């Protein structure tokens, strides 16, 4: 079982931090899909693309009780086509039904589904926020 959390990032506009914790007793790896498949708004037709340079170069594997992170850029900073969201769809594999992940706290955030991006899974929080 995996538990997801999403929250805004202090002092970083247009950024969310997504975390996933392995609550099972088995290892979990993200070899098949190395970044989360996100649908951040009702107008988003395709999943948010990955930020290519954020690829860690190795498969992220979570031992029981460990956490991985992904950074989400919610827009490019322009005001075009932005909408407010308090939750979003997340899938770990293509052709699966996404689960809904709500923001942990705070008000809804503005996103532009056309310019939003996500990092690959990272083993360190700082690595996910670098992008």
> Residue 3 contacts by C-beta under 8 Å, 6 or more apart in sequence?
20, 21, 23
Helix (H), strand (E), coil (C) string for 21-90: EECCCCCEECCCCCCCEEECCCCCCCCCCECHHHCCCCCCEECCCCEEEEEEECCCCCCCCCEEECEEEE
pLDDT of amino acid 53: 97
Domain ranges of the chain: 2-129
pLDDT of amino acid 80: 66
The per-residue pLDDT string of the chain (131 residues; one tens digit each, 9 = 90 and over) reads 999 999 999 888 899 999 999 999 999 999 999 999 999 887 677 899 999 999 999 999 999 999 999 999 998 877 667 889 999 999 999 989 899 999 997 788 989 888 999 999 999 999 999 98
Which residue(s) pair with 4 in the sheet? 20
CA 86 to chain centre: 14
111: buried, middle or exposed (CB in 10 Å: 19+, 13-18, 0-12)? Answer: buried
Contact by Cβ (8 Å): 2, 23: yes
């Amino acid at each position: 079982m995996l538990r997801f959390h999403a929250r805004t990032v202090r002092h970083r506009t247009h950024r969310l931090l997504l975390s996933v914790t392995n609550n099972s007793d088995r290892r979990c790896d993200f070899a098949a899909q190395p970044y989360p498949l996100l649908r951040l708004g009702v107008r988003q037709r395709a999943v948010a693309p990955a930020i290519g340079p954020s690829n860690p170069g190795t498969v992220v594997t979570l031992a029981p009780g460990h956490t991985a992170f992904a950074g989400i850029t919610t827009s490019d900073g322009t005001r075009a086509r932005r909408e407010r969201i308090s939750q979003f769809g997340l899938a770990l594999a293509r052709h699966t039904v996404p689960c809904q992940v709500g923001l942990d706290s705070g008000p809804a955030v503005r996103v532009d589904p056309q310019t939003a991006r996500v990092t690959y899974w990272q083993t360190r929080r700082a690595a996910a926020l670098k992008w």
